[in-house]
């Protein structure tokens, strides 16, 4: 196998490793609050929303030291050890204890920062300027399938279950732990690129050392472009937390959906995964073929989100995120029309900001400061504010780029 073929194989293995790991972890995040509410124990007092706040808060802070860790022990070992911590978090649900739950949340926050830094390092080492777009597309395509497979399993396992028993919980989380461990060990199949590509490896390692030691993050964070982008990055953090941990819990708490409510969490996750795959492809093509630039694509994505928020507003009761184990009996504005036994048949700074906003919405939901409807209003307002800021950021960047090109042309003419 030639050097290019070996690099491509490494990218495919990387994608499958992440697909297995996040099939387990994202499924775990989607169902954990529902599982916790069903857990029959007076000794456990954990909350999935508090766990998310801890994970994303530690994730945000740990991004500052992650490049140093990856440089010290290497990307392959970094991904493996991070994957082991992810697997430990999932395995904790087999027999959950309050102290182990929150300790695992802290460890996963650290592991996430190291994992994604190492992933970027491996992707860069095995790519060139011409192949980076293709390799990134392959990796993200494989990763997006994680939501599909994991939630399909949840739908099949929980179909018709009104209450999640201890046996159901153990069966699901033992399976998810094994799936996550398979992804961890796949990282050992990634082979080191041939020596002729060592210059790219050295450049990437140098970049990691620079990022971890010269304060460039602080300088970038106060530039006008990054300040303009802050609202947009924050909005993606709010959205990430909502669809990855809150929305599924809301669906499972709706007693109006009948005995299929818990299994509909899986259907929701499948639809989110399919939406990410289709949306990524469609918006990617629009971005390439659209002569008006990125702004119409951003606006179309924002409108799509607003439509989704409105549909959630119509279908989900306001107290669903904080409903007890028995669910909520409150009616939404629309009730199921087809029923069967009352059931329906159906870079580092950007990451720091995104995760920080995820932390804020997790804490807000936990302390009951935000109900579902107020949360949707906050999402709509933040999206409305962030969209023009993103547009002005792009326009400003294009203006500076155009001015620079004109200056270069004038200098060359002289």
pLDDT tens-digit map of 41-87: 667 888 888 888 899 889 888 988 898 999 999 999 999 999 999 99
Q: Please provide the size of the chain in residues.
A: 414
Q: Is the pLDDT of residue 279 over 90?
A: no
Distance in angstroms (rounded) separating the CA atoms of residues 306 and 386:
13
**pLDDT mean over 360-389:** 57
Distance in angstroms (rounded) separating the CA atoms of residues 269 and 247:
9
In tens, the pLDDT along 177-190 reads 999 999 999 999 99
Pick the CATH number of 3-403 from 3.90.100.10, 1.20.1250.20, 3.20.20.300, 1.10.10.10: 1.20.1250.20
pLDDT at residue number 73 = 92
The SS3 of residue 332 is coil
Of 19-23, 125-129, 244-248, 389-393, least confident by mean pLDDT is 389-393
DSSP state of 259: G
Q: Is the pLDDT of residue 383 over 50?
A: yes
Q: Is the pLDDT of residue 151 over 60?
A: yes
Which is higher by pLDDT, 3 or 9? 9
pLDDT at residue number 119 = 92
Q: Is the pLDDT of residue 360 over 60?
A: no
- In the structure encoding, which two tokens stand for residue 170, read together? 């153990």
pLDDT at residue number 376 = 67
* Band (372; pLDDT cuts 50, 70, 90): low
List residues bridging with 254 in a β-sheet: 328
Distance in angstroms (rounded) separating the CA atoms of residues 92 and 104:
8
Domain boundaries, the chain: 3-403
DSSP state of 152: H
* Band (149; pLDDT cuts 50, 70, 90): confident
């Amino acid at each position: 196998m030639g050097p290019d073929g070996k690099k491509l194989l490494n990218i495919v293995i990387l994608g499958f490793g992440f697909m297995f790991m996040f099939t387990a972890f994202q499924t775990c995040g989607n169902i954990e609050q529902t599982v916790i509410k069903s857990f029959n124990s007076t000794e456990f007092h954990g909350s999935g929303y508090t766990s998310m706040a801890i994970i994303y808060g530690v994730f945000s802070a740990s991004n500052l030291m992650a490049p140093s860790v990856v440089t010290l022990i290497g990307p392959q070992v970094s991904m493996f050890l991070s994957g082991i911590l992810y697997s430990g978090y999932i395995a904790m649900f087999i027999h959950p204890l309050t102290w182990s739950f929150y300790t695992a949340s802290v460890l996963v926050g650290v592991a996430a920062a190291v994992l994604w830094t190492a992933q970027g390092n491996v992707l860069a080492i095995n790519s060139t300027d011409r192949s980076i777009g293709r390799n990134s597309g392959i990796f993200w395509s494989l990763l997006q399938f994680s939501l599909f497979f994991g939630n399909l399993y949840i739908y099949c396992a929980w179909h018709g279950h009104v209450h999640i028993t201890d046996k159901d919980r153990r069966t699901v989380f033992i399976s998810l732990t094994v799936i996550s461990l398979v992804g961890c060990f796949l990282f050992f199949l990634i082979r080191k690129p041939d020596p002729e590509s060592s210059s790219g490896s050295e450049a990437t390692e140098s970049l990691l050392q620079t990022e971890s030691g010269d304060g460039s993050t602080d300088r970038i964070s106060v530039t006008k472009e990054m300040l303009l982008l802050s609202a947009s990055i924050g909005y993606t953090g709010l959205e990430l937390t909502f669809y990855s941990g809150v929305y599924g819990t809301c669906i499972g708490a709706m007693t109006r959906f009948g005995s299929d409510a818990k299994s509909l969490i899986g259907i929701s996750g499948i639809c989110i995964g399919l939406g990410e795959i289709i949306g990524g492809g469609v918006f990617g093509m629009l971005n390439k073929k659209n002569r008006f630039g990125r702004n119409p694509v951003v606006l179309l994505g924002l409108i799509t989100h607003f439509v989704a928020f409105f549909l959630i507003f119509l279908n989900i009761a306001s107290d669903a995120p904080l409903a007890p184990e028995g669910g909520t009996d409150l009616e939404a504005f629309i009730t199921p029309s087809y029923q069967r036994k009352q059931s329906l048949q159906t870079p580092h700074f950007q990451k720091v900001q995104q995760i920080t906003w995820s932390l804020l919405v997790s804490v807000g939901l936990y302390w009951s400061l935000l109900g579902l409807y107020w949360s949707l209003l906050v999402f709509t307002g933040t999206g409305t504010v962030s969209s023009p800021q993103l547009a002005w950021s792009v326009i400003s960047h294009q203006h500076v780029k155009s001015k620079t090109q004109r200056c270069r042309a004038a200098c060359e003419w002289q």
